[in-house]
Structure 1
Amino acid sequence: MAAAPQRPRTRTASRCKAETAQGTHTFEVDGFSLHKGRGAFYSIRSAAFTVGGFDWCVRFHPDANLRDTFCISLELLSEQAEVRALYDIRLLHHTAGEPWSACRRHTPAVFSTMDSNDPSVYKYIGTSDMEASGHIHDDRLVIECDVTVVKEPQVAAISEVLEVPPSDLSVNFGNLLESEEGADVKFIVQGENFPAHKIVVATRSPVFKAQLYGPVGEGNRECITIEDMQAPVFKALLHFIYTDSLPAMEDIGSSDKEMMKHLLVAADRYAMERLKLICEGILCGSLDVETVATTLCLADQHNCRKLKDACIDYINSSDRIDEVAASQGYLHLKRACPSVFVDMWEKEKVTKFQNN
């Protein structure tokens, strides 16, 4: 018997969130002793205060059932109401001393005016003890009451968290270059054809934009021959234009270092500053005695300040100048970039001055 097809399973979730409302009321009783002598059922009510949409009050009972005792209570005033609440009732010290906690509730208590039961919270307190501790001073008592109302729970559905995949924009444009679909311009480099899209190439390079859409590019804009550039270099340049990344060196058949030099020249030629900086960074990390002189000449000719400084620092460090002078690129450096030697000497003087 074939297994029954598995039905798709829907998963949902919700969350219950407990919300509260908090409030503090201070009730000052002046002339404490003058309120006594009226019997155990006499009380003075504070002004009403509202917390969480419910009205409350603090009551002061000067004469409690026991001798030398008074009582304080918290009362719900709202009619036909039921509420869960936490509370903290304390007596303040007449100085900056610690308040005395009369009664505190850490878990919600139910206050209700729905029936005849007394919804108040009572606390009996010894008068002499409070006078001795300083919580009754100059015939004055200060009651402070915190009320925390627990609201009705709010239940809400939890939206499913969607995992957004990484951007595939560069992949899509890379595929567009590879497929040649919709290509409307052809670049010819060393006899090799490179189909491309005018709008993409022009968007990435202001030089290509002027050549393809500006007055400088009048003539045949569908077939452009690129002079003085190797085909693998132009291929790498196109790859960067479409994907904003360098191709793998094995895909273009060239060594990393030489390709970076040619790409730097191409990036400078077509005003692609990001590519130029990437090439500079790679060359800065691959300097050696044999090629540093030619790299320095390249940096000077294409205004690569960071690469130029890195080459000069490399030559001046650890007395490498003799080894560099023996390299084949050194004579080319002297002929093509004589001003570089002034920069080298000036930087060496500054370095020696700072080290002394």
Structure 2
Amino acid sequence: MVRCDILVIHRYRSTDNAVAYVSVPPCDSSQDFGELLETEKGADVVFEVGDETVAAHRCVLAARSPVFAAELFGPMKEGNVAAAGVVRLEDMEMEVFKALLRYAYTSSLSLQGMANDHITCRKILVAADRYGMGRLKLICEEWICECINVDTVVTILALAEQHHCEGPKQACFDFLADPTKLRAVMVTSGFQHLWESCPSLMMELMDM
């Protein structure tokens, strides 16, 4: 006696001729959060930068930065947030801080329209390092690596050393590995200042 098991398929759809009945759009949360920043709806903290102010949302900033979390909700709160919910920021430009805020809300950085964008990018890198926003710092590092030339390499090398940016540091070393470029840089006042202020870095360059 032979036994056969038969499986009956009631519905079948070929994947080659599949019809998409539902179209799911890309996630638009970054746009929604960007609008939240622009409209300031529900904002509960105000930052004073120079003579300007900008409002934001504590929870968003705390979720994006461990430093903001400590300043707005942790032990540092009392010393940083006034009774009216105002935070005064020193050593920060509004253009740079707005770029930092926009990244916190949208995970994107745009330097378009900024004056001296390569200089602004370096300042944003410093701010990102200050607030522990690692991915933003890496975005700036990547962009700065494309800005290395005879006029900027010393400044970028010093910045990379101070803020532990291995990518830009190596890019500067690779740039200076060209004897012609190195000679052009060595006669600049910036190089002489770097030699005096950071001799260990110069020794590392010479060893390379």
- CA distance in structure 1 between the partners assigned to 2:204 and 2:192 by the alignment: 17
1:234 aligns with 2:97: yes
Contact 1:170 1:243 in 2 (8 A): yes
Q: How far is 1:322 from its partner?
A: 0.9
Alpha-carbon distance, 1:247 to partner: 2.5
Equivalent residue number for residue 278 of structure 1? 139
Counterpart CA distance in 2 for 1:336 and 1:263 is 23
Deviations 1:64-103 (A, max 9, x none): xxxxxxxxxxxxxxxxxxxxxxxxxxxxxxxxxxxxxxxx
CA shift digits 1:30-80 (9 cap, x unpaired):
xxxxxxxxxxxxxxxxxx212235xxxxxxxxxxxxxxxxxxxxxxxxxxx
Residue 152 and residue 241 in structure 1: after superposition, are their counterparts in 2 closer, same or farther (change >3 A)? Answer: closer
Query: How far apart, CA to CA, are the structure 1 residues paired with 2:19 and 2:174?
Result: 57
Q: Provide the rounded CA distance (Å) in 2 between the counterparts of 1:153 and 1:321.
A: 74
Letter in 1 for 2:88: T
Q: Does 2:169 match 1:308?
A: yes
C-alpha displacement at 1:334, in angstroms?
2.0
Q: Secondary structure at the match of 2:88?
A: strand
Q: Is the 8 A contact 1:239 1:247 kept in 2?
A: no
What CA distance in whole angstroms lies between the structure 1 residues aligned with 2:9 and 2:172? 69
1:182 aligns with 2:38: no
Consecutive aligned runs of 4 or more in structure 1 exceeding 4 Å deviation: 156-160
User: What whole-Å deviation, never above 9, does each CA across 1:176-223 have from its counterpart, x for those lacking one?
Assistant: 000011111011111110100011111111111111111122143411
Runs of 5+ in structure 1 lacking a partner? 1-47, 54-150, 348-356
Q: Which residue does 1:22 correspond to in 2?
A: none
Cα displacement string for residues 268-294 of structure 1 (whole angstroms, at most 9, x for unaligned residues): 111111111111111112211111011
Report the structure number with the largest CA radius of gyration: 1
More helix by share: 2
Counterpart for residue 110 of structure 2: 247
Secondary structure of the equivalent of 1:214?
A: coil
Query: Matched residues in 2 for 1:322 and 1:194: separation?
Result: 46
Percent sequence identity over matched residues? 42
Tell me if the contact between 2:34 and 2:106 (Cα under 8 Å) persists in the aligned partners.
Answer: yes
Separation in 1, partners of 2:125, 2:200 = 21
- Alignment map for 1:157-196 (pairs within 5 Å): 160-196=20-56
* 8 Å Cα contact 1:190/1:231 also seen in 2: yes
CA–CA separation in structure 2 for the residues paired with 1:162 and 1:193: 44
Q: What is the alpha-carbon distance in structure 1 between the residues aligned to residue 53 and residue 178 of structure 2?
A: 46
More strand per residue? 1
Once the two structures are TM-superposed, the CA of residue 342 in structure 1 deviates from its matched residue by: 1.1
Q: What displacement does 1:331 show? A: 2.8
Does residue 201 in structure 1 map to residue 57 in structure 2?
no
Q: How much has 1:317 moved relative to structure 2?
A: 2.2
DSSP-derived class of the 1:215 partner: coil
Matched-pair contact (CA < 8 Å) for 2:111–2:121: no
Equivalent residue letter for 2:171: A
- Residues in 2 aligned to 1:160 and 1:223: alpha-carbon distance in whole angstroms: 51
Whether 1:49 and 2:2 are equivalent positions in the alignment is yes
Q: Secondary structure at the match of 1:186?
A: strand
The 5 Å alignment of 1:59-98 reads: none
1: CA distance, partners of 2:120 / 2:44: 28
Q: Which structure 2 segments of 5+ residues have no match?
A: none
How far apart, in 1, do the equivalents of 2:30 and 2:68 lie? 20
CA distance in 1: counterparts of 2:50 and 2:24, whole angstroms:
43
Asked if the contact 1:291/1:329 (under 8 Å) is kept, the reply is no
TM, length-normalised to structure 1 = 0.53
- Distance apart, 1:335 and its partner CA: 3.1
TM-score when normalising by structure 2: 0.89
Aligned length: 201
